[in-house]
A and B are shown apart, each in its own frame.
Chain A
Amino acid sequence: MKKLFSIILLAILSWAAIAQNRTVTGTVSDERGVPMPGATLVAGNNYAIADDKGRFSLQARQGEEVTVSFLGYEDYTFTVSGTAAVNIHMIPSADTMLNESVAIGYGKTTKKEVTGAVASLKTEDLDKGSFVSTAGMLQGKVAGLTVVNPDGGDPNASFQILLRGTNTLSAGLGPLIIIDGVADADMRNINFQEVESIDVLKDGSASAIYGTRGTNGVVIITTKRARKGATSVQYDGQVSVQAVQSRAMPMTAQEFEYTIKNYAPGKSGSLYGYDTDWFKEITRTPFSHKHNLAVSGGTDKFSHRTVLNVEQNQGLQKKNDASKYLIKTNITQSILEGWLDLEYNLGYVKRIASPANYGAFRQAFMRNPTEPVYDPDATIYGGYFTLTESDYTNPVAMINEREAKNETSTVYANLRATLNILPVKGLKWDNFVNFSEEKYSGQEYKTAYYPSSVGKKGVAYVSSDTYTDFQWESTLQYSNVFGDHSIQGILGYTWEQKMNWESSMENYGFDSDFYKYNNMGSGTALKEGLADMSTYRSSSRYIAFFGRAIWNYQEKYLASVSLRRDGSTRFGKDHKWGWFPAVSLGWRITKEPWMENVQWLNELKLRAGFGVTGNQDFANYKSLMLMSTGTSFYYNGEWINSYAPASNSNPNLGWERKNEFNVGVDFAVLDNRIGGALDFYYRLTTDLLYEYNVPVPPFDYKTLFTNVGSISNMGIELTLHAIPVKTRDFMWQTTLVAAHNQNKLIKFTNEEFQNQDYEIGWAATPVGAYLQRLIEGESLGSFYAPRYSHVGADGNDVLQDEFMGKVPVDKWSRIGTAYPDVTLGWSNTLRYREWTLSLSLRGAIGGKVFNSYRANYESLQQIGLRNILASWLDNTAYTGGIRYSDKYIEDASYLKLDNVSLSYDIPFSNKYLHGARVFVSGQNLLCITGYKGVDPEVSLSGLTPGIESTSYYPRTMTFTLGASLSF
């Protein structure tokens, strides 16, 4: 009876308690918005644990404090008020940041243990918006990594990546890209929304484990993987529009007419009386949309993540499009009671591009604006107004009368099988095989009225290429902790084979434009022997053995040693294999007992490393003396092929070798509110490859590709993170990256190869000058020009040191180098409750750029048939022709507002919809610069950096509206 009473009393009390309480619901997610199952919420005596999707339901009184906690994250406390669902974003604690994993190639370590110069980016570090390639997300985010898009608003733009300066004369400049373990992968084949982390191995000690592919750094991209738990569905969608941000401005029809009438009356024959905006005729307002659907879930034993991605992007130029269709799945499986872990990736990506006609932008610029677009009488030109002059074609016809489409399909499949040798703790044998195949098919048709081929009756071109790549990587890995000693070791072997097969054909003389490229055989040129056909196949193989040992004592003294033996078919037969050693050391001073009392300093680590890497990014077969078919010869009454050498043999051809020394310091102060890294490096690249002139005879061919020169790059890099404001509701995180690099060409010639051409960067008529010189002891990209003085009485530019109307080449001055002194990136995230505002700026200080549009089109002498830059009107005293001088080499400093985005987490959650977020973003909004051309940020790759191209794509700004929904 007593017992029964107790139960009743308890029930009544409980009821009373319930009467006072209410149910608080919501979700807990981490800083990236990923649900945090297992997070605990405590309100007085009540508690709740977040479920698979981070959802919770907790009994609490109005006004009661609720504390949310999760291991590795800072506790979060809120007060119960209102009835709305509560969505909680947890912030990682500083200790967690130090424990964040960092990919170092063939393995992982943690931020606190890493000893090389490695930059590690997570999703939240990357901008929101619309990207045509994942490479675009790296702009301004990593100190020392320059990512340039010379193609502006082209949806098929390709990015150029340059790490710590130019370290080569003629081999490749791009870093090795590794995506989910697949080396030399293509960033266009993943969806930027699926990126989970990007790690950049910057110095030699970090990248030496990649041997002859390590010189330009290694970018390791990890995409989102399978996760165990109930099935979750994530949808990300966005729409965007673009508008012109910057372009070369020609004169309008009124300005053109005014200029001719007042300054060049002799050319009034070029006034046709129309008013045509040629740029407008070939452009549109581009609209794009992207959708990504990801499904994931599973158990400890089996889980998957499957992604479906559809993108359709329009370019500014009419008919210029790019679309992408991607489906991939990642499956993880554990079998044999933990002995064997399996991971599969299967993917298919189709990219369809209608490439832009860059020449049409240039023609639209220089086309006379008083000409009409059409002329009904010009029947042989298809009704387009036409003046037959060389390099002067109707841009509207160039767009309308051309049909071009490229399709690239990539399939890839890989399997990672990890055998955990359970009896020995920490020992496993990992095998990874990947097969990928890319099929490219290009089609182009120029109709009977395409300007430069009028008379050829339609020109059709198709090409089809297949690239296959097979990789096998086998590693034995061991890691364990023995008391104060923690060790990690790896021994590995890798084998990679690439095969290319390329084919193309061209024909013309079609009866009708109807066929386009779909009935190639019907063109008459084939019968007349004027069609073209070619196929080409090549293959290369790459083999390496490698090992690495990482040791630390009490997480205080750190060391890493690696060695790689690397070989490639590309090297000469006497020089197939090379050694690539590296060593790096670290000392976490804050772990010393005598530092325990220094409260303001949370982390201080010194790092030093040395590593040897190589560059083998050059064409196949460069070490062999090969014969190719030369011209035909009439012999014994028939035309026969002649054969001639196409290259010299060079049995000593090897990789470019880079030795790099790096010292750095990682620090965190003031309760981890400010932290960062400072690195100094010196890299010396020797055995640089270049095509040298050699005498014929005795050589078979007039150039020899061989290892001669050397280049050094020296620089300093700073990364600074800070959290200036951190309250419950409002947090401001900011990251500044800055880098300075000094490039120097140390040696370009030797005893055998002397007096090579040092003048490079030829700018054709009307400039007619070499813009840059290769001089030992100076930086690459050094501009040389006569100094501009003033406009003379006759309207011509007067130059300093002129003699007989010329400035001798040896009197030209060094104007500066194309490379900036300092590159900067500044990213900010401001979070107020459900609102997040992010802001990214990027800039460069110093550096020169050659303004090609001014140098080609800012002269009264050029007006008439062609249009010129409207900016000529700013200085009408200058009536002369173009004379190359430093007037055209301008300062390239700039500050760009790359990205502004605002997102809102909708505090709404129910059984079906667990989270929703919307965002708006604007990209490439503003560029503050003194440069008078299109964009001071031009290609910095290759031997002639800093030269703006006249065949360009205008810069655009992009406005995006996006939504993310999780179910």
Chain B
Amino acid sequence: MVLCMAALSACTNLDEEIYSKIAKENFFTTEEQFEKYSARAYSSLKHGGTEKSLWTFVIQNTNEVCVPVNPNGGWWDDGRYNEVHVHNISYSNRLLEMAWEYWTNGITACNDVIDTFEDVEKDFEAKHRVLAEIKVLRAYFFMCGIDNWGSIPFSISKKDKDYPEKKDREFVFDFIVKEITDNLPYLQEEPTSEYYGRITKGAAYAILAKMYLNAEKWIGKSMWAEAEEACKAIISKGYYTLAPEYKDNFAVYNENCPEQIFAIPYSTVYTTSDHHAFLIYMSTLPADLCRPMGINADAWDGLCGEPDFLASYEPGDTRKADTWLFGQMYDKDGNALEYEPGVPYIIDPDMPESVYGKDSRRTALQGARIGKWTYQDDGKLTGGQVGMDNDFFLIRYADVVLMYVEALVRQHKETEAAAVPAFQQIRTRAGLAPMTADQLTLENLYWERAHELAIEGWSRQDMIRFDKFLDAWWAKPAKTDSDLLLPIPKSAIAANPNLK
């Protein structure tokens, strides 16, 4: 009888057998696996490394980067790049969708890790620290949301199965500040190498500083003193210093740079694939420059420096050439390159506005290219799946110093600001004269930030904070206040009717 039943159940058994993926309930067996599971939340930052992320969205949405149609007719792509740059963004824009997915996926990953940890009854050493790290990381993703979209869907646990409701900016602002403040005590203070790439006290204070600095624009409340305090909390500890050379921040192997506060570690070996690799070289370099530069790829020749931005550097500012590729091009051994026999390979950073548009094209020798992150020339870069080894510093000390100076200037403490040694060091490192208290106007401070932190992903909120974002520049016309927020993408509305 039993045999008969067993035979019968085998005859109708339709349970699935899984081999090459894993069901979540079978995944966690050791504490170490729990701790490592938090990597999932951190790895969602990696979307910041490709041409399809919030980071690349921001640099194109501001005065830094433009994408004219290239000589081969590439990069029009239904006008998606153009829309982002001239602030005429349709809600079905693919770049907008990807920018949205960056922070929403980040929050989902954080929620999942937090839920998983909170479900563990056992109290183990790493539990509180990891929870605090991931909660602050989630706060960062929420900041990306309110920064760009204002009111956003709010969900802090994936157990809540209803579609998230939209919450206004002020509500989320308060949540972020409270979340960071509550969790600060549990975070690692000294940025030792084990904590590289993770949220430490320094990173948490820097995010907090950004919140306070933008509070006036976001929720109509000036919080300059709070911003000053948050920056001071980082500076006073003395764990971070400016790197001797500006370029040290962007070197191929930059993980020991003293300036990094919160880094996204990248590796040629470990972070591959279109979605996880740091691929800026593919997006910007022309194919014919690659092999002479030691890169075995046919790059896509798209992102260019916006001509007005290139023209805005003070004479002698070494950061211009440290950030952009223009002028004579050289191979990896330093030999000057020819574009065609007899024609030197000289890139002109200036482009007339007329090269911009669907039926126009720039020439191969027009448009500065992004050269901020040193290109490795060891031949390991071999195409769209292999990313660069340079780590991306989401927050670095110079940013904190400039925020500190700004908070002081906003409170009319120009003299105190001019006396911040690290600030003047930023100037001298760039080959420029120190700034006097009189020179510390908001206009000058804006350009200092713009040039120091160019294409590092903060320019959008900076331009808004310094009232620059609605101005006209190059091909982009002047805009009205409604332009300060991005539309919620169509795909997100389709997925969640609460966002209509």
* Residue positions of A touching B, CB distance < 8 A: 269, 380, 388-391, 452-456, 493, 495, 508, 528-530, 535-541, 543, 567-571, 576-577, 620-621, 623-628, 630-637, 639-646, 692-698, 700, 702, 753-757, 759, 764-766, 768-769, 796, 861-862, 865, 880-881
Contact = CB atoms under 8 A, between A and B. Distances in A.
B158 A700 contact: yes
Contacts of A862: 73
Given A569-B14, A697-B155, A642 B40 contact: yes
A880 B359 CA distance: 9
B162 A537 contact: no
B108 A768 contact: no
Contact of A641 (B39, B42, B164, B380): B39
Given A455-B291, A768-B79, 6 more contacts: A390-B287, A455-B296, A624-B23, A626-B21, A642-B36, A698-B155
A620 B164 contact: no
Interface in B133-158: 153, 155, 157-158
A643 B158 contact: no
B446 to A, nearest CB: 34
B39 A455 contact: no
A698 B14 CA distance: 29
Contact of B23 (A540, A626, A633, A700): A626
B491 A537 contact: no
B495 A695 contact: yes
B268 A543 contact: no
9 contacts: A391-B72, A530-B269, A568-B14, A624-B18, A635-B36, A639-B270, A643-B37, A695-B164, A697-B111
B43 A644 contact: yes
A495 to B, nearest CB: 7
B288 interface: yes
Nearest to B500: A755
A456 B382 CA distance: 7
Report, as a range, how many residues of chain B touch the other chain.
35 or more
A530 B287 CA distance: 22
A576 B298 contact: no
A455 B296 CA distance: 5
A569 B108 contact: no
Kindly name the residue among A493, A535, A700, A861 whose own CB sees the greatest number of chain B CB atoms within 10 A. A700
Kindly name the residue among B36, B74, B155, B495 whose own CB sees the greatest number of chain A CB atoms within 10 A. B495
A765 B495 CA distance: 28
Contacts, number: 221
A543 B296 contact: no
B160 A697 contact: yes
Interface in B252-272: 265, 267-271
Kindly name the residue among B18, B198, B383 whose own CB sees the greatest number of chain A CB atoms within 10 A. B18
Contacts of A754: 494, 497
Contacts of B22: 626-628, 643
A768 B80 CA distance: 10
A764 B43 CA distance: 30
Interface of B: 11-24, 27, 36-40, 42-43, 46, 72-79, 92, 101, 104-105, 107-109, 111-112, 153, 155, 157-164, 193-194, 196-198, 265, 267-271, 273, 275-276, 287-288, 290-291, 296, 298-301, 340, 359, 379-380, 382-383, 386, 490-497
Contact of A390 (B74, B77, B159): B74
B296 A453 contact: yes
A437 B458 CA distance: 57
Contacts of B164: 695, 697-698
Contacts of B43: 630-633, 642, 644
B105 A628 contact: no
Contacts of B492: 693, 695
Nearest to B361: A861
Q: Which label, helix, strand, loop or mixed, suits the secondary structure of the B interface?
A: loop
A862 B69 CA distance: 13
Contacts of B273: 631
Contacts of A697: 107-108, 111, 155, 157-158, 160, 164
Given A390-B299, A455-B296, A543 B14 contact: yes
Nearest to A866: B72
Given A456-B382, A696-B105, A567 B23 contact: no
B160 A768 contact: no
Contacts of A645: 24, 112
Contacts of B193: 637
Nearest to B74: A765
Contacts of A694: 495
Contacts of A757: 92, 490-491, 494
A530 B378 CA distance: 13
B73 A635 contact: no
Given A695-B164, A765-B77, A881-B359, A632 B267 contact: yes
A394 to B, nearest CB: 13
Given A757-B494, A768-B77, A634 B265 contact: yes
B435 to A, nearest CB: 37
Contacts of A508: 382
Contact of B112 (A456, A646, A700): A700
A695 B27 contact: no
B39 A628 contact: no
B142 to A, nearest CB: 13
Given A528-B380, A625-B24, A768-B76, A539 B19 contact: yes
Nearest to A643: B40
B72 A454 contact: no
Contacts of B75: 765
B72 A537 contact: no
Given A620-B16, A621-B21, A455 B494 contact: no
Contacts of B104: 696
A644 B40 contact: yes
A862 B497 CA distance: 44
The 9 closest A-B CB pairs, nearest first, are A455-B296, A529-B269, A631-B276, A695-B496, A634-B265, A632-B270, A537-B19, A633-B39, A642-B39
Contact of B288 (A269, A388, A570, A621): A388
Contacts of A455: 291, 296, 379, 382
Given A390-B287, A754-B497, A636 B24 contact: no
Contacts of B290: 388
A630 B273 CA distance: 10
A628 B12 contact: no
A633 B37 contact: no
B72 A541 contact: no
B27 A643 contact: yes
Contacts of A642: 36-37, 39-40, 42-43
B101 A702 contact: yes
A626 B20 CA distance: 10
Contacts of A539: 17, 19
A770 B13 CA distance: 45
Contacts of B271: 631-632
B46 A631 contact: yes
B27 A627 contact: yes
A690 B281 CA distance: 36
A761 B382 CA distance: 30
Kindly name the residue among A535, A644, A692 whose own CB sees the greatest number of chain B CB atoms within 10 A. A644
A621 B104 CA distance: 25
A528 B22 CA distance: 28
Given A627-B23, A768-B77, A695 B163 contact: yes
A538 B300 contact: no
Contact of B161 (A456, A627, A637, A698): A698
B16 A569 contact: yes
B344 to A, nearest CB: 16
A881 B92 CA distance: 25
B108 A696 contact: yes
A698 B74 contact: no
A470 B487 CA distance: 54
A698 B157 CA distance: 8
A622 B272 CA distance: 26
A544 to B, nearest CB: 10
B497 A764 contact: no
